[in-house]
């Protein structure tokens, strides 16, 4: 009997270190016989990647930004996420709708009610069950103080339109993540992202072992010491 798909998302402010652990987790799942789809938002499809470039680099207001992100998300769901889950893949996605509520909602101060309506519209009607709204099975939240994140990002690369925001913006984003986690505590797994990379990796894999999604603790991560 084929195993059902798993939809796992990774969230946190820029500089929290989530992206560096995603491929290691993909390797851990593959080692236990799972097929893994690794993707990201905004992005994941040719159309969504074009929209991503606009969102990250072109000036726009918060509503335009939100509409573009949800348009990219709809295409991503239709073209990548839902087909992968239907095949029984483990889908590991770097950011999803929680990021929209944190960045556009809390960070930009955009209307959360409007975001909720867009969330319902975009994430419903894609799976076989009528009226089912697609949400992650698990969201791994890399929680990090914005001041530490800013130190990690300093000089790393030319910042995009979000990375260039002041620390106060990221304080609001971090609070936005905390608010989302409070509304769905069973879906969120919080990691202390201020720890060194190896200890964050240990926290991460223990989440999946406890849920029975990884059979054994993965002792190391390639390139992640």
pTM above 0.75, yes or no: yes
Query: Which region, left, alpha or beta, applies to residue 203 given φ > 0 means left and ψ of -120 to 50 means alpha?
Result: alpha
Binding residues for ATP: 12-19
Q: Which CATH superfamily is domain 6-211 in?
A: P-loop containing nucleotide triphosphate hydrolases (3.40.50.300)
- The one-digit pLDDT tens for each residue of the chain (225 residues) are 578 999 999 999 988 889 889 999 999 999 999 999 999 999 999 999 999 999 999 999 999 999 999 999 999 999 999 999 999 999 999 999 999 999 999 999 999 999 999 999 999 998 777 789 999 999 999 999 999 987 877 766 666 778 778 889 999 999 999 999 999 999 999 999 999 999 999 999 999 999 999 986 555 454 343
**Annotated binding-site ranges:** 12-19
C-alpha span between 115 and 97 (Å, rounded): 9
Question: What is the domain partition of the chain in residue ranges?
Answer: 6-211
DSSP state of 105: I
Which residues make Cβ contacts (< 8 Å) with residue 53, sequence separation at least 6? none
Structure-block tokens of residue 114: 């409007």
CB 40 within 8 A of CB 94: yes
């Amino acid at each position: 009997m084929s195993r059902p798909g798993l939809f796992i998302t990774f969230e946190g402010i820029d500089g929290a270190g989530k992206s560096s652990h995603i491929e290691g987790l993909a390797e851990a799942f593959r080692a236990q016989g799972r097929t893994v789809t690794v993707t990201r938002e905004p992005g994941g499809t040719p159309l969504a990647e074009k929209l991503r470039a606009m969102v990250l680099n072109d000036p726009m207001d918060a509503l335009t930004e939100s509409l573009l992100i949800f348009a990219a998300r709809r295409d991503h769901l239709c073209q990548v996420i839902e087909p992968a889950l239907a095949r029984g893949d483990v889908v590991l996605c770097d950011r999803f709708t929680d990021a929209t509520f944190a960045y556009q909602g809390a960070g930009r101060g955009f209307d959360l009610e409007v975001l909720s309506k867009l969330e319902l519209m975009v994430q419903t009607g894609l799976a076989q069950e009528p009226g089912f709204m697609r949400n992650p099975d698990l969201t791994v939240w890399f929680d990090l103080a914005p001041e530490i994140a800013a130190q990690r990002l300093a000089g790393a690369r030319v910042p995009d339109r979000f990375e260039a925001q002041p620390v106060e913006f990221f304080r609001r984003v971090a609070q936005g993540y905390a608010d989302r986690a409070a509304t769905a505590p069973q879906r969120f797994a919080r990691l202390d992202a201020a720890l060194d990379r190896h200890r964050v990796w240990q926290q991460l894999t223990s989440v999946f072992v406890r849920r029975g999604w990884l059979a054994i603790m993965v002792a190391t991560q390639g390139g992640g010491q």
